[in-house]
Amino acid sequence: GSGDVTFTGEVGAATSGELGAVTINSAHNVSIQSTFDAESLSQMAGTGTTTIGGAMTLATGLDLTTASIVINGNVDVQSGIIGLVATTGSVQINADLTTSGDINVTAAKGAVSMQNPSLINSGSGTITILADQTVTLGELSTSNATTSAVQVTSTTGDILLQQTITTAAAGGVTLSAPKGSILDENDGSTLITTGDLWLLAGSNIGQITDFAAGTGNAIDVDLSGTLRQAVVTGTGDIFLN
């Protein structure tokens, strides 16, 4: 679509006034500037940026597909899936995403960036983040007990940790940056607590440039299961704590 869609005021804020399922078939820019209460929100296609600027409460799900996505307001889905797909640009998450279902974030040709602090909490669902470029993480939390509880992939860039990653004791975390590095950007605040862990990087997993000076950060892990993989495919080092 070539036209813009803008919600300037509160949507569904009246007592028992929540909207039903809201669908945007196609648009250029979509801007939600205040609170938004509805059964669900779906955008099927877009050529610009969709921005969520106010707190959003949905009963059954959020599904956005457009060029770029910016989340500036907390999103609370009571029971359902959150799906964010940026087809050509980036996904910027500057607030919290919470649901009891799966959360899937994709930037097919761009980056995924979570502001520090921000939270993705999928309840008992899985968390999957896929980007072509660098993925910068805030806090990831799930009680999911499968080996695919958290899966984060950067196809050509780095994975940068800023906050904790937590799953159930029987869960698993996979971090894959086959052309880049997996780095701790906030030492002391980035513990990975899970069952089994898979790490794959093209360059470094953690980075310590000077042991004597204490320059750089290892990747901090607390595993109730097994370190299944820690592999650097190119020239680089692995630093785990």
CA-to-CA dists, residue 94 to 15, 90, 102, 120, angstroms: 28, 13, 19, 11
For 138, residues 6+ apart whose C-beta sits below 8 A from its C-beta are: 93, 114, 115, 116, 117, 118, 119, 120, 162, 163
What's the confidence (pLDDT) of residue 236? Answer: 92
What's the confidence (pLDDT) of residue 1? Answer: 72
What's the confidence (pLDDT) of residue 208? Answer: 79
Distance of CA 235 to the CA centre of its chain: 28
Full-model pTM: 0.96
Tokens 């059954």 sit on residue:
60
- Segment 222-232, tens digit of pLDDT: 999 999 999 99
Tokens 């940790």 sit on residue:
161
What's the confidence (pLDDT) of residue 209? Answer: 64
- For residue 132, give both structure tokens: 């072509």
Tokens 């028992």 sit on residue:
16
**pLDDT (tens digit, 0 to 9) for every residue of the chain, 241 residues total?**
789 999 999 998 877 788 999 999 999 999 999 999 999 999 999 999 999 999 999 999 999 999 999 999 999 999 999 999 999 999 999 999 999 999 999 999 999 999 999 999 999 999 999 999 999 999 999 999 999 999 999 999 999 999 999 999 999 999 999 999 999 999 889 999 999 999 999 999 998 766 555 557 899 999 999 999 999 999 999 999 9
DSSP string covering 30-93: EEE-S-EEEEEEEE--BSSEEEE-S-EEEEEEEEEEESEEEE-S-EEESSSEEEEEESSS-EEE
What's the confidence (pLDDT) of residue 14? Answer: 79
What's the confidence (pLDDT) of residue 13? Answer: 81
Sheet architecture: strand order including 91-93: 5-7, 30-32, 49-52, 68-71, 91-93, 112-114, 135-137, 159-161, 182-184
CA-to-CA dists, residue 106 to 88, 151, 170, 234, angstroms: 10, 12, 26, 26
